[in-house]
Structure 1
């Protein structure tokens, strides 16, 4: 499993904030996605759980363009060991990591 944390500086976002939602069925390998925000630093972001790093590499650019109209200002990727069943709980656990 692979995790992507992507941040956009609000000044870089071309689409309105309400457009920042992830359609899981549109991106093969995307298991879960949650919007995140850092209002103190003026950033909006996504915490994404992918089946593989290859899926993230192939589809992240299209997802970023569709969600915010531009590539993320900052992006972190890392692999984790987990089953697909555990991925369903990953976004709530990610919230603990990034809060």
Structure 2
């Protein structure tokens, strides 16, 4: 699936960061690693997800939003996991989001 990279913010970040646009806009959930999923806490609805993909010798985080939109890209060190103190990794909300993600990946 191709991600849309048309917004001013994302095109500027792609340029500033020297990102490999073709590789980062060709979304492949089978080979990309999910870093995080953002959901609204009031509804549990998905807002965006961040994925890690290796291109050449560099790891990139790719943030995907609604409508297959590329939100931003960040070149990261391979040890970076995306788990700060505000990241939920268990509990009822996590289980709910995990179930939503599982259904989306099967679709």
- Do Structure 1 and Structure 2 share a fold, with TM-score over 0.5? no
Which has the bigger relative contact order, CA under 8 A and spacing at least 6? 1
More helix by share: 1
Q: Normalized against structure 2, the TM-score is what?
A: 0.28
